[in-house]
Each structure stands twice: as structure tokens, then as C-alpha cells.
Amino acid sequence: MSPEVPTILQLSLARLMGGITEHGAAFAQGQMGLIGMMMTLSAKEYERGADIRHTENEDMRKLFGELAGGVGDAALKTKLSDAAKSRDESLRISVLNANNYALRRLLTEAQIYAEDHGAAEAQKRIWAILKALAARRLVQLGP
């Protein structure tokens, strides 16, 4: 897309802000500030959204492949193995999100299994993935 979404959002914000004079209502100025912040966050999400989701999906798949061998439950072992072999069909956010949600549900299932069976190493590795997921999704207002 040309111009890119972040540029469109920045230009739109400048246009909106240009319509508020110093004598403008405080409410309108506050609303423009809120809209501006949301546009800035949207531009950042556009830039990194697919990369975050694809990386998360690949990290979970890799973990599932590693965990599958230590799982005694045949059904869970099959789910983990199948998920480890799966791939994102495209880089569209909707597809990545659907895969991400399914993989997260399986991660929760694996965590429950690990806790129920005292698999401390598996729990440690799952928590490392969960921390990485949270860190990647952290909203940053700066560059």
C-alpha cells in the first residue's frame, strides 16, 4: 500500500488536530488527543503485528515438538505433534490470530498436564514462552 498505513494515520491526525484552534473546546482537544494516541498505536501494530504473531506461533510449535516426547497422554501427545508440524497458511492477521488462539489453547492444555504430572522442566519452558508472548505484545509509546 502506498502510502503506508502509518503515514496515512499521521497525516489524518495532523488534519484532525489542525481543525482545533486554541479557542476550541477542551473536550474536542481531549478527544483529538485520544484519537491521536490510538492512531499512533495502530500504526505501530500495523508495522509489527504479523511478525509478532508469526514468531509466537513458531515458538509455540517448536516447544510442542519438544514437549510431545515426554507426554504420556496419547491424545495430548498427538495434538502436540500435529501442532508442531502445522504452519501458518498466510501472513494475514486474521489467519495468524486464529492459529495463535488455537496454539495458546493447546499451550494451556500442556501447562495443565505439566502441573498435574509434576513436570517441572516442561512448566519452566512453558512459562518462558508465556513471558516472551507478553513481552512481544507490550505496547510501547516511543520509537
Going by pLDDT thresholds of 50, 70 and 90, the confidence category of residue 1 is very low
Phi/psi at 98 (5° precision): -60, -45
Q: What are the sequence ranges of the domains in the chain?
A: 5-137
Q: What is the mean pLDDT of residues 61-81?
A: 97
pLDDT in tens, 10-62: 777 777 766 666 666 677 777 777 777 788 888 888 888 999 999 999 999 99
- How do residues 89-132 score in pLDDT, each as one tens digit? 999 999 999 999 999 999 999 999 999 999 999 999 999 999 99
Describe the crossing of helices 26-68 and 120-137 by its angle, rounded to 10 degrees.
Answer: 150
Q: Is the link from the previous residue into 3 a cis peptide, with omega within 30 of 0?
A: yes
For residue 2, pLDDT over 80 is answered with no
Question: In the numeric block, which cell numbers belong to residue 68?
Answer: 510431545
The CA distances from residue 15 to 18, 35, 70, 80, in Å, are 5, 12, 58, 50
